[in-house]
Amino acid sequence: MESGKVLLVGAGPGDVRLITVKGLEAIMQAEVILYDRLANPKLLEFAPADCELIYCGKLPDRHTLRQENINDLLVQKALEGKVVVRLKGGDPGVFGRVGEEAAALALYQIPFEIVPGISSGIAAPLYAGIPVTHREHAESFAVVTAHDKSIEGKPMLDWEGLVRGVDTIAFYMGVANLPFICENLIAHGKPADTPVILIQWGTFGRQRTLQGTLSDISKKVLEAKFSNPSIILVGEVISLREKISWFEKMPLFGRQILLARTSEGASGLAKGLMEQGADVIEFPKWKKTILPVEVGNVTNYDKILFTSPESVGEFFQAVIEKGIDIRKIKADFYGGSSKSINALKERGFMASLIEDMPKEGSLLVVGDDRKYEVENADFLVTSKKELDQQFLPIFQRMLEEAEVNTMVFPSGASVNVFIEGLKKCGIDVFYLLKDVQVVCMGQHTKEQVERVGLITAGMPVSPTRKALVEYLIQCPIV
């Protein structure tokens, strides 16, 4: 069998929008992805539905896969003729061990490419309002590993060279060795009052910063219980932060939002929330199969309710294939969410939300499942959706590393499927959301949420993206 190909890809520092075009293209063609802990898991949603996902994440106290095993897997999967992506946080050439992986592939004459990514040592400071170089403050910049292969894990560095020759220093993953770093920089001539800042989860909406000097930052870190993943930045250029800090001033910065999802495609709502500075975790992740449907009697109904935007396209495709004149459909159209309404508008149809649907008249519910709680209705199931099992452990890891403070239900149909998805992960919805603001988009959604026993914080004035953002800005995080 002809060997496949391996792409060693930098995922960037965390914000999914910071991946390169070439990196995203690699993910979209992958048959196997080996991904690290610091590569944002949301990037995996761009992979093909049948792509095999292998977690290689490492923590200081444990390794899911050791580097030798990762090298072997890359070789094995490529020799099976597959397109393999090795997805690494930041840039693969900056403490990413890409040289070792590339050497293993070269040994077996396996074709490979290395796709650079934005390094965390540059991106995290910028998201904290700090350029690593500046004509008045810093003309040189260095990235330094804060732990190495020495017996005690203390970095064996040219401390004198760093102090004398570098204005701004970025130490990677060095919180445990911070006292050692500060002591050596001071001992080799760096002033004790040199500014230091730690940036944790840089470029995420959960980004945290802690500022001090070489003389006091270690104590502050202990008091604040600061931990990795963090970039430690040392240098006078940190003084610019007060003037040009921008990310932390975004309207939804600090919001860590869990968004219930009913569709398998990209979410415009999630994108809009992230553009305002929020972290967004979407759940569940779906896989869909289009079903053959019989639409011969669709002209007989007074009302047609579409439970998802995808069901709109699937319905009209079936109608056209059946040769039915759309003008003969006399029903009024309704949508379970504003996204469904917009999908109908794009096809030239005016529609109303389910809240405005009268009880009188015959009703056809068009959608991807039968869980929509509507009385006295016929159902037309246009597709079958099932949970993507590969994403359940990914979701659990995302929850472990986040501190969710906001829950958004965009539609009534999202409530039950969200709860059922949590059960598959062994997570109790009431425990998960006990200290979380639960926000509903629309009165019908609010009723569905309260029906299952959850307490709601409220809802925006209208079930739109803009209204939701305005509502979250006005309501403080609990």
Rounded to 5 degrees, φ, ψ at 299 are: -80, -5
Interstrand relation of 256-260 and 406-409 (parallel, antiparallel or unpaired):
parallel
Beta strands in 177-239 (DSSP E): 195-200, 208-213, 230-234
Of 455, 454, 453, 464, the residue nearest 411 (C-alpha): 464
Contact (Cβ atoms closer than 8 angstroms) between residue 146 and residue 156: no
Contact (Cβ atoms closer than 8 angstroms) between residue 175 and residue 230: yes
At a CB cut-off of 8 Å and minimum separation 6, what does 26 contact? 7, 9, 85, 115
Contact (Cβ atoms closer than 8 angstroms) between residue 85 and residue 110: no
Catalytic site includes residue 58: yes
Contact (Cβ atoms closer than 8 angstroms) between residue 167 and residue 140: yes
Catalytic site includes residue 250: no
At a CB cut-off of 8 Å and minimum separation 6, what does 193 contact? 213, 214, 215
Start-to-end Cα distance in the chain = 58
- Give me the catalytic one of 77, 82, 173, 385: 173
Helix (H, G, I), strand (E, B) or coil at 63: strand
Contacts 24+ apart (CB under 8 A), 219-223: 221/175, 221/178
Q: How far is CA 172 from CA 94, 204, 322, 452, in A?
A: 10, 17, 61, 46
- Give me the catalytic one of 58, 154, 287, 371: 58
CB atoms under 10 Å from CB of 400, counted, come to: 7
Distance (Å, whole) CA 42 – CA 22: 17
Helix residue spans in 323-432 (DSSP H): 338-345, 391-401, 413-424, 429-432
Distance (Å, whole) CA 425 – CA 227: 27
Rounded to 5 degrees, φ, ψ at 61 are: -100, 0
Catalytic site includes residue 36: yes
Give the bridge partners for 366, in sequence order. Answer: 306, 380
- Give me the catalytic one of 15, 36, 279, 369: 36
Rounded to 5 degrees, φ, ψ at 121 are: -65, -20
Distance (Å, whole) CA 359 – CA 178: 66
Contact (Cβ atoms closer than 8 angstroms) between residue 93 and residue 145: no
Which active-site residues does the annotation give? 36, 58, 173
